[in-house]
Amino acid sequence: MASTVLDSILFRDSFGTPQMRAVFDDRELIRKYVQVEVALAKAEARCGVIPEAAAKDIAERCNADTLDFDLLRQETEIVGYPILPLVHQIAKQAGASGGYVHWGATTQDIMDSAVALQLRDGLDIVEADIRALRAILAGLARRYRDTPMAGRTHLQQALPVTFGYKCAIWLDMFDRHAQRLAEARPRVLVGQFAGAAGTLASLGGKGLEVQKAMMLELRLGVPVSTWHVARDGFAEAINLLGLITGSLGKIAYDVMIMASNEFGELYEPFVKGRGASSTMPQKRNPISSELMLACAKGVRQSAGLMLDAMVQDLERATGPWHAEWIAIPEAFILAAGALHQARFMLGGLIVDEAAMARNLDLTKGLIVAEAVMMGLAPMIGRQEAHDVVYDACRVVNEKGGRLADVLNAMPDVSSRLDPKLIERLTDPANYLGMAPQMVDQVLASSAKLN
């Protein structure tokens, strides 16, 4: 029986994906424990620490899929960790060579290295999703490069932008995330093999040689020093997911606001029944955006927990290490869920350019009051131009009408600016600044990362 949204029959594919859940599945984790134990035996045989025949037996006979999982669960509850119960069973599988299983290792070596393998698989999925999302965002930025819309600050119309400009900002965030992910891999995907107190004392002079051979077998980075209580690598991985889902939450927030009836500029892809209300037939709720935002909040909690878990005692931790067992799977599954929803939502995003144009004209030219002020400033000075245009804006706000008509009726303005120039200055489409060129810059920069 599932009791959380991550495993719920009802909710699991809303808040996660089957592919990411498979990475953090119990049985897959135990397979990775066995994989690490086998890699250790092979490395030790290569370095002359244990007989080659023993390593061969361990590699051929130890099989995670034939373990007694009920017994493993029962003994894990007693011991507090799964590795000693696991070693009991795979040592039996290895027969006469079983005494060489887990030679010189400690529980945390096996668990940390297995989690590093999980992180590698999980980051591969995240990387693929980000690559696909960047392609979607690049397409939106390119297509709507010159589509004018109201830019908003403090939830008020500010100055015109283009929808492509907005999408380019989203794309640029994910270009940076792609770079962060590539840069984090060598720091994060590092194995662990250091022994009871981290000094590899049980292997005498062979410890570092075995460590290197083991990481080569696992295709993980070789640690420069023991990281039993130096948890910045794993914390970086989860906080990177926090950054990624934070950006997804920002996009989701924008889409939800712009999809409201009062804006009506964007809509999530239409799927019959999706976002429907049980009482209001007209509703079309932005479900993917809502899920993205919820996942982002969940990952943020895990990121904070990982930072807290970095504060560990002495050479081997007590409770802080255990907190990672909660945070890491949850963060990856929720991040995968958010990325999946984003790919669906943005991949089929419906953009209502006519609504954007209507909203841009909503203030009858007030949105480009700055343009008129800058056009008038060379003739009467910036401050006086500001005051004149401010008075005109007050007239429009209080009495209605178009800003261009009010300005043309003001002698201080009409005597200095041609009416046709005022019409051009009060057309929002003529005051986009460098927004289209910024789109081009982002697209060119993004293409270099591919």
The answer to whether 110 touches 323, Cβ cutoff 8 Å, is no
Residue 267: count of CB within 10 angstroms of its CB: 19
Q: Classify the C-alpha dihedral 409-411-415-416 as positive or negative.
A: negative
Number of H helices, E strands in the chain: 19, 4
The whole-angstrom separation of Cα 335 and Cα 24 is 13
**Among 59, 315, 103, CA closest to 204:** 103
Q: Of 8, 97, 102, 154, which is the active-site residue?
A: 154
Q: Give the angle 80-86-89 at the CA atoms, nearest 5°.
A: 135
Is 277 one of the catalytic residues?
yes
**DSSP conformation letters of 230-242:** --HHHHHHHHHHH
Buried b (16+ CB within 10 A) or exposed e, 319-357: ebbebbeebbbbbbbbbbbbbbbbbbbbeebebbeebbb
Beta bridge partners of 156: 153
> H or E stretch including 347?
helix 319-347
Beta bridge partners of 267: 350
48: buried, middle or exposed (CB in 10 Å: 19+, 13-18, 0-12)?
exposed
Q: Point out which residues pair with 149 in neighbouring strands.
A: 161
Q: Provide Rg for the chain, Cα atoms.
A: 30
Ordered alpha helix ranges (H), 189-221: 207-218
For the chain, the helix, strand and coil percentages under 3-state DSSP, each to the nearest 5:
70, 5, 25
In angstroms, the CA 26 to CA 23 distance is 9
List of E strands, 2-50: none
The answer to whether 164 touches 145, Cβ cutoff 8 Å, is yes
Of 260, 277, 414, 445, which is the active-site residue? 277
Residue 156 has phi, psi (to 5 degrees) of -115, 150
Which residues fall within 8 angstroms of residue 86, CB to CB, at 6 or more apart? 30, 33, 34, 37, 67, 72
Contact assessment for residue 356 and residue 150, using Cβ atoms and an 8 Å cutoff:
yes
Say whether 154 is catalytic: yes
Amino acid at 36: V
Q: Give catalytic residue positions.
A: 154, 277
